[in-house]
Amino acid sequence: MSSTWVPDVSSETPFSLANIPFGIISTSSDPAPHVAVAIGLHVLDLKVLATHDKFTELFPALLGKENVFSEPTLNAFAALGRGVHRDVRNTIQQLLSAETTRPEILRDNEELRQKALLPQRSVKLHLPMSVGDYTDFYAGYHHAYAVGVMFRGPQNALQPNYTHLPVGYHGRASSIVVSGTPIRRPNGQILLDPTAEPKQPITGPSRRVDMELELGCIIATPNRMGSPIKVAEAEDHIFGYVLLNDWSARDIQMWEYVPLGPFNSKNFASTISPWVVLADALEPFRTKAIENKTAIQDYLKDVREDTVFDIELEVDIRTPEGDTTTISRTSSKNLMWSFPQMIAHHSLGGCPMKTGDLLGSGTISGPDPRESGSFLELSKGGKEDIMLYGMDVRRFLKDGDTITIRGSCGKAGQRVGFGECIGRIETAVPL
């Protein structure tokens, strides 16, 4: 991969020429949300680029679809399919390359460049997709195991179905927000003393607000209802990936979740990163998933060896006092099920996937305790203090705490990453 003529692209940026992630921006001169890509510290405004009279010559796949970059979400672009995403990304890389064969279009076109190439700090980032349905899986093996040990001991840590199918549940789409949106501590029903009889809950702010470090996968091409997506074809249905923080209130969860699963403990907010990294950009970073020794069903068998991505993930907490501590470092490879397997399972009974649907991996933790993707694991079920910089400690999140997730892969100068997925906990609404 060559370098770019765009200024201020450091070797450590997650938005190298090898990436070209898509997002939704608004600017002071155009406050209507529309499509851009990120490159270093800049964004390229594709709605502005689409005004160039050579646009459809450069992007023949978008002939008749020039308005796709004026849309307030990426759904219309995603719906064009993976072949179009690939062509468009390739052409943008060509235009931004130091060896571009078409310098007159953008590099040497000062008027267009001034309008289209904008400092990232000057634009506002919006939720990139309109998410119709959100499904959260539980494919992070080490997380499922660690949490299972807490509740059922090491002998029964994993439920019998865990290695046979990618366990998942339907999440709440309406509370998905873009990075930076404040996260209000939820009120909820909590059983303070689970041993007392009769059981008597109280209503109040959750005392156990947690993060969940996840990778999110976004659907591009829908399937018809009743027509499952085969595991071998699932990649063609994927638009790209985001970082996902599936905020969780553990005390609310513990009381409400029997017998139908998590509900208010999860539906107060889920944060995604603003930039969607296209599926093609992550192709070079494939690796093996965690070995599953179970003889799995045919519809879940993937002939490929490398079905997941090795993305370095890290989580910072910043206290209200401003002290920052990195509390977790792990990799997105710590999954027992791949997204193609999740898609094949999800659609097995005929469930239609729609453009913009979000699938979460489930919490990603590594085998080492310092690789934990949740406070539940880091604090051993809320029983041990997590030491932070500045003599501070946590078991769960306090008001004013900010969680930042980062994820990227690749060599210096060619890094492919998501930027930041941030949320700050605000005080609960008074009851």
Known binding residues for substrate are 138, 152, 253, 257, 363
Instruction: Rule CB under 8 A: choose which of 98, 232, 393, 429 binds a second copy.
Output: 429
Instruction: Rule CB under 8 A: choose which of 43, 76, 78, 269 binds a second copy.
Output: 269
Q: Which has the closest alpha carbon to 398: 407, 406, 388, 408?
A: 388
CB 381 within 8 A of CB 387: no
Output 192 or 412, the one with its CB closest to a second copy.
Answer: 192
Tokens standing for residue 175 = 């509370």
Instruction: Rule CB under 8 A: choose which of 170, 301, 370, 411 binds a second copy.
Output: 170
Exactly one of 34, 143, 237, 345 is catalytic; name it: 143
List all residues 6 or more positions away from 314 whose beta carbon is below 8 Å from its beta carbon.
326, 328, 329, 330, 405, 406, 407
In angstroms, give the least distance from the CB of 205 to a second copy: 10
- Checking 279-282 for CB contacts under 8 A at 24+ apart, the result is 279/82, 279/85, 279/235, 279/238, 279/239, 279/240, 279/241, 280/82, 280/85, 280/86, 280/89, 281/18, 281/19, 281/20, 281/21, 281/89, 281/240, 281/416, 282/240, 282/241, 282/309, 282/311, 282/409, 282/416
In angstroms, give the least distance from the CB of 73 to a second copy: 14
Output 21 or 228, the one with its CB closest to a second copy.
Answer: 228
Helix runs in 273-394, H state only? 279-282, 339-346, 375-378
Instruction: Rule CB under 8 A: choose which of 262, 274, 366, 373 binds a second copy.
Output: 262
Output 91 or 187, the one with its CB closest to a second copy.
Answer: 187
Can you tell me the distance from the alpha carbon of 114 to that of 107, in angstroms, rounded to the nearest whole number?
A: 10
| 348 interacts with a second copy by CB under 8 A | yes
| 346 interacts with a second copy by CB under 8 A | yes
Tokens standing for residue 395 = 């078991």
| 156 interacts with a second copy by CB under 8 A | no
List residues forming the annotated binding site: 136, 138, 152, 212, 214, 246, 253, 257, 266, 270, 363
Instruction: Rule CB under 8 A: choose which of 126, 164, 380, 398 binds a second copy.
Output: 164
Can you tell me the distance from the alpha carbon of 68 to that of 63, in angstroms, rounded to the nearest whole number?
A: 10
Output 41 or 150, the one with its CB closest to a second copy.
Answer: 150
- Which H helix or E strand runs over 171? none
Instruction: Rule CB under 8 A: choose which of 110, 291, 298, 305 binds a second copy.
Output: 298
| 229 interacts with a second copy by CB under 8 A | no
Catalytic positions are 143
Binding site for a second copy (CB under 8 A): 132-133, 138, 159-161, 164-165, 167-175, 177, 184, 186-189, 198-199, 201-203, 206, 225-228, 249, 252, 255-265, 267-269, 297-299, 345-346, 348-354, 357, 429, 431
